[in-house]
Amino acid sequence: MPPPILDVHDVTVAYHRKPVLWDVDLTVTKPSLVGIVGPNGAGKSTLIKAILGLVPLVSGSVHVFGQPVSQERRRIGYVPQRESVDWDFPVNVLDVVLMGTYGRLGWFRRPGAREKAWAHECLAEVGMADLARQQIGQLSGGQQQRTFLARALAQQADLYFMDEPFAGVDAATERAIATLLRQLRRDGKTLFVVHHDLRTVPSYFDHVILLNVRLVASGPTPLVFTEDNLRKTYGGRLAILETMGQALSQEERTA
Amino acid sequence: MIIGMMFGLEYNEALVLYGASLLGAAAGVIGCFAVLRGRALTGDALAHAALPGLCVAFLWYGALSMPALLAGAAVSGVLGIGVITALRRWTRIKEDAAIAIVLSVFTGAGVVLLSVIQNQRASGQAGLQGFIFGSTASMNFQDVMLITGLALVALMVVTAAFKEFKLVSFDAAFARAQGWPAFAIDFTLMLLIVVAIVIGLPAAGVLLMAALLVVPGAAARFWTDRLHVMLILAGLFGAAAGLTGAGVTITIAIPTGPVIILAAATIFVISMLFAPRRGLIARQREDRQLRQRLTLPNVVTGES
């Protein structure tokens, strides 16, 4: 049996001695499109960062493909939150996408014609073929998000971590990203996506992780994405749950 | 060298001109990263904090030795940055206040030390005075070689690791996720900033060095949206400022630092006003055109 794609064991993370992730145990064995869902401050981004080794673990361990993450960086793609960078930085769209190839290039080697052709392909994949020479400060929010996705595609990874790729994008971009994620999933990739919009969870993801500092539930969407589990995740926030209930029943009617 | 001598300059003067341009180029190129990472003030604090180190190095060594002085400057400059970091981390003081405290306290300590040295009437203390506003007059062949050598090494490191510096400056989290030692790369970049500042101190002075680091990069940003073009332009602007400063002070007896900074400021103002697209005049024209286009339909249809 092959090792699990992702194995998170007893992970605890704290900022200023306050735990933001508490004893999270998580295993994903087969290629999936995974939604990470929970209220604000639930530690969704922190979970991704902990897996990638970007924040120190108080305890626990993370393995991908049976190896420590540091051994498998080449197979991992990352889409950080859009607000995490300065969009006035003097680079154009192609420069940013080319950064996805840097890991393979290694120290001091510059991207050449082959990398540029590949970056253009990745841009075409997200519908930005004609914006390669655009300065990144002139992009709309949706275009910025697509640029980050193209950069992750350029990494040619098997496992992707995406921090709110749907945040603040227009409807067209939302559809384009959803289609792209499904396509990657069909190609046998595994994707972990931090997601905010509960209404779209059942239609986007085949696996859901419900998180609120502790892991509430993790498993196939139809089994895990239930009203009961959502109540446990979101606590007493009834307004959210009511809209949720309506969304769920609507989902059932249309399904 | 040969060109300089053709203009009737002495060998030493020509040498100083080349040194000052190369120094300006290194400061301009490396300064781009300081500007982009929001470390302009940190650079200023570092330059000011170098003064007590210069004085201590002079007292220790007993004479004006460029390597000793630069080492002393680097140590106390880095110490100043360390104090800022410590204040921010372990107290409730915010970064700007921490920088202001360190900058003025270190400068004050430096001036006190300088007065002590002056009262001792030690030989070479006049040369030490030059470090406040900068002076290329007392530089000898070895000094210039040391400074230009370090400037060349710094420029070579930026050229070699351009891709890595670009990645870490733009998106450090992505760099780390990709397996780059982002902290070490960032540390190297900070080290280069220290080198650029320290080698600039003799010519530009502790009070004004940060401007030579920051102004060429800030001016270059107006002309381009590509990092490599920005670095090249900032290098040229810095070189022009350094050359002007050293050149003017060969003929007129004024400190080098202020002339360098005024030359850089001139380039900055020209860039800010006249650069295409990002310059103020181009932006205003664009705004006006946009407004005209927006009001045009009303004119045609006669509606208001």
Output the pLDDT for position B253. Answer: 86
pLDDT grade for B83, boundaries at 50, 70 and 90: very high
Beta strands in A86-239 (DSSP E): 159-163, 190-194, 207-212, 214-220
Tens-level pLDDT at each residue, chain A (255 residues): 789 999 999 999 998 888 999 999 999 999 999 999 999 989 999 999 999 999 999 999 999 999 999 999 999 999 999 999 999 999 999 999 999 999 999 999 999 999 999 999 999 999 999 999 999 999 999 999 999 999 999 999 999 999 999 998 999 999 999 999 999 999 999 999 999 899 999 999 999 999 999 999 999 999 999 999 999 999 866 455 556 656 665 655 554
Mean pLDDT of the region B139-157? 93
List the one residue out of B204, B197, B69 whose CA is nearest residue B136.
B204
Question: A59: distance to nearest CA of chain B, Å?
Answer: 20
**Residue B283 to residue B213: CA distance in whole angstroms:** 26
Q: Residues B174, B175, B179, B181: what is their CA dihedral angle, to the nearest 10 degrees?
A: -140
CATH for B277? 1.10.3470.10
Output the pLDDT for position B304. Answer: 47
Question: A216: distance to nearest CA of chain B, Å?
Answer: 26
Of the listed ranges A241-255, B34-48, B96-110, B289-303, the least confidently predicted one is A241-255
Output the pLDDT for position A251. Answer: 58
Count of structural domains within chain B: 1
List the one residue out of A135, A47, A160, A115 whose CA is nearest residue B226.
A135
Burial zone of A251 (CB within 10 Å; 0-12 exposed, 13-18 middle, 19+ buried): middle
The span from the first CA to the last CA of chain A, in angstroms, equals 35
Contact flag A90-B160 (C-beta cutoff 8 Å): no
Contact flag A70-B180 (C-beta cutoff 8 Å): no
**Residue B97 to residue A81: CA distance in whole angstroms:** 30
Contact flag B227-A91 (C-beta cutoff 8 Å): yes
Asked, for residue B300, whether it belongs to a domain, the answer is no
CA atoms within 13 A on the CB side of B65: 12
Output the pLDDT for position B294. Answer: 79
pLDDT grade for B145, boundaries at 50, 70 and 90: very high
Check CB contact of A83 with chain B, cutoff 8 Å.
no
Check CB contact of A85 with chain B, cutoff 8 Å.
yes
User: What domains are defined for chain A?
Assistant: 6-254 (3.40.50.300)
Output the pLDDT for position A238. Answer: 47
Strand order in the sheet with A159-163: A76-79, A159-163, A190-194, A33-37, A207-212, A214-220
Asked, for residue B304, whether it belongs to a domain, the answer is no
Whether B295 shows a pLDDT value over 70: the answer reads yes
Provide, as residue numbers in chain A, all residues whose Cβ is less than 8 Å from the Cβ of B185. none
**Residue B179 to residue B190: CA distance in whole angstroms:** 20
Which residues in B have their CB inside 8 Å of a CB on A?
36, 160-164, 166-167, 169-171, 173-180, 221, 224-227, 229-230
Asked, for residue B137, whether it belongs to a domain, the answer is yes
**Residue B189 to residue B191: CA distance in whole angstroms:** 5
Helix, strand, coil share (%) of chain B residues, nearest 5: 80, 0, 20
Contact flag B224-A99 (C-beta cutoff 8 Å): no
pLDDT grade for B154, boundaries at 50, 70 and 90: very high
Residue ranges making up the domain that contains B283: 10-295
Asked, for residue B232, whether it belongs to a domain, the answer is yes
For B98-111, write each residue's pLDDT tens digit. Answer: 999 999 999 999 99
Whether B2 shows a pLDDT value over 60: the answer reads no
Contact flag B180-A102 (C-beta cutoff 8 Å): yes
Among candidates A80, A86, A107 on the partner chain, residue whose Cβ is nearest the Cβ of B173: A80
Asked, for residue B5, whether it belongs to a domain, the answer is no
The single residue listed with the structure tokens 């003799």 is B202
